[in-house]
């Protein structure tokens, strides 16, 4: 297996058509920059019992939120990562920073013991096995952050934790796949990684399956695109029908609930999906508009026409998937089990405003890339072309 960095590049490039690109992936060759001033501190109550927590990763997107919240709750936090993303930014905050690679050398974990391990970055089951060389028997609780992309049939409405998952093809060994091939099997690899967690940590594991993770620090632009674009004002292309379903989770809600899962020693499988009540794509877009003063207005263009213009769901029309056919259930999964265990969601207005505020702190080139649709989203030039074509079709009858 190639190293973890190579794997993430490939999965970012060739993730499946159902939005299977890993949530942690970035533009090829990119790394997150320094900690962001827009991430706001707030008062957090201390946990009843402090824990010794190891966070694998911890410096990318959701991880920093976990670190901040866990420390605010009074826990002792250790990080294990490659030391390449935001190096030194947690100095003086965490107890220890261990340098290694889940896809290679994990010996920095040798002799360490923890109450809880939170595994954020793992995609390949070999990474679970590599870490387990030293962590198996040395933790009381292993929390694995997986993905709802593990589910086999995304056409089903109401997918829950008991729904069938995606197996690896019988002729492929998930432990020896090279990075170029592995990106094609993201959902299946996550499924196999979950199974490896259950094998290595029987009776002490939790698997969390989030949907689309959004909020400050997200450089995939799969939600960031909308606040950035709507803040420019003018006519905005909106996908399909206003009442199409929409699901996502703020990275901070996911991070904080993950820490509370650790505190409460909650075991088992959980879908981490927001919001608490069904949301439509129009509610999301108008909710984002409400935190701006740019005066944007939406033109809803049917999916049938968008297809003729090669406008892709998820990639160009971010957050959205067609609520028909093989993606009919993609934005209608169930989070009832996690909500019953305390998963909560902040208001859309908070997520949208904080994301936009953070976006405006990004380097100018990154902000321009968002509006040019270089990562995800649709460039404003291409958007204008599609809108013009739609109006011409309407005028022609």
How far from chain centre, in Å, is Cα 4?
17
CA–CA separation, 238 and 240 (whole Å): 7
Query: How far apart are alpha carbons 178 and 255 in whole angstroms?
Result: 30
**59 within 8 A of 79, measured Cβ to Cβ:** yes
- Is 4 a residue whose pLDDT tops 70? no
Residue 272: CA count within 13 A, CB half-sphere:
28
Is 70 exceeded by the pLDDT of residue 10? no
**Could you read off the pLDDT of 59-114 as tens digits, one per residue?**
999 999 999 999 999 999 999 999 888 888 888 999 999 999 999 999 999 999 99
CB distance 175 to 237 below 8 Å: no
Q: How high is the mean pLDDT of the chain?
A: 90
- If one counts the domains in the chain, the total is 1
* Cα 25 to Cα 38: distance, rounded to the nearest angstrom: 21
pLDDT value at residue 236: 98
Contact partners, residue 298, CB within 8 Å, separation at least 6: 235, 236, 237, 238, 282, 285, 286
Q: How confident is the model at residue 12 (pLDDT cuts 50, 70, 90)?
A: very low
Residue 325, helix vs strand vs coil: helix
Query: What percent of the chain lies above the pLDDT cut of 90?
Result: 84
Give the predicted TM-score (pTM) of the model.
Answer: 0.90
pLDDT band at 37 (very low <50, low <70, confident <90, very high): very low
State pLDDT tens for residues 294-348.
Answer: 999 999 999 999 999 999 999 999 999 999 999 999 999 999 999 999 999 999 9
Residue 354 domain boundaries: 4-396
Cα Rg of the chain, angstroms: 21
pLDDT of res. 40: 58
What whole-number percentage of the chain has pLDDT above 70?
89
| Confidence class for position 21, pLDDT limits 50, 70, 90 | very low
Rounded distance between C-alpha atoms, residue 22 and residue 4, angstroms = 13
Which CATH number is 374's domain given?
3.40.50.720
Mean pLDDT of the region 280-304:
97
| Chain segment 198-217, per-residue pLDDT in tens | 999 999 999 999 999 999 99
């Amino acid at each position: 297996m190639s190293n973890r960095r190579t794997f993430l590049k490939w999965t970012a490039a060739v993730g499946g058509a159902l939005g299977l690109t890993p949530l942690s992936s970035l533009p090829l060759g990119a790394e997150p920059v320094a900690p962001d001033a827009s991430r706001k501190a707030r008062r957090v109550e201390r946990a009843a019992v402090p824990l010794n927590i190891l966070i694998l990763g911890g410096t990318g997107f959701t991880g920093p939120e976990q670190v901040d919240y866990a420390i605010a709750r009074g826990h002792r936090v250790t990080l294990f990562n490659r030391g390449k993303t935001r190096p030194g930014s947690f100095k003086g905050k965490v107890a220890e920073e261990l340098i290694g690679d889940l896809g290679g050398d994990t010996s920095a974990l040798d002799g360490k013991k923890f109450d809880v391990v939170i595994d954020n970055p793992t995609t390949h089951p070999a990474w679970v096995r590599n870490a387990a060389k030293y962590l198996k028997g040395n933790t009381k609780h292993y929390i694995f952050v997986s993905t709802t992309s593990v589910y086999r049939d995304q056409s089903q409405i109401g997918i829950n934790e008991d729904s069938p998952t995606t197996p690896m093809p019988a002729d492929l060994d998930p432990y020896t796949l090279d990075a170029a091939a592995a990106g094609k099997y993201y959902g299946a690899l996550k499924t196999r990684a979950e199974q490896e967690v259950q094998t290595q940590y029987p009776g002490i594991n939790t698997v969390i399956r989030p949907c689309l993770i959004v909020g400050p620090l997200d450089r995939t632009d799969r939600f960031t695109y909308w606040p950035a674009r709507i803040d420019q004002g003018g006519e905005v292309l909106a996908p399909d029908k206003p009442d199409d379903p929409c699901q996502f989770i703020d990275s901070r809600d996911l991070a904080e609930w993950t820490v509370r899962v650790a505190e409460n020693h909650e075991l088992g499988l959980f879908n981490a999906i927001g919001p608490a009540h069904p949301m439509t794509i129009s509610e999301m877009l108008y909710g984002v508009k409400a935190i701006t003063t740019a005066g944007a207005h939406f033109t809803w263009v049917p999916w049938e026409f968008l297809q003729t213009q090669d406008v892709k769901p998820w990639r160009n029309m971010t957050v959205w998937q067609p609520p028909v056919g093989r993606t009919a259930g993609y934005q209608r999964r169930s989070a009832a089990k996690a909500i019953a265990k305390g998963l909560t969601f902040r208001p859309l207005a908070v997520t949208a405003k904080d994301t936009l505020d953070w976006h405006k702190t990004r380097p100018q080139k990154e902000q321009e890339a968002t509006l040019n649709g270089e990562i995800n989203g649709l460039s404003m030039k291409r958007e204008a072309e599609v809108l013009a074509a739609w109006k011409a079709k309407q005028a022609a009858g």
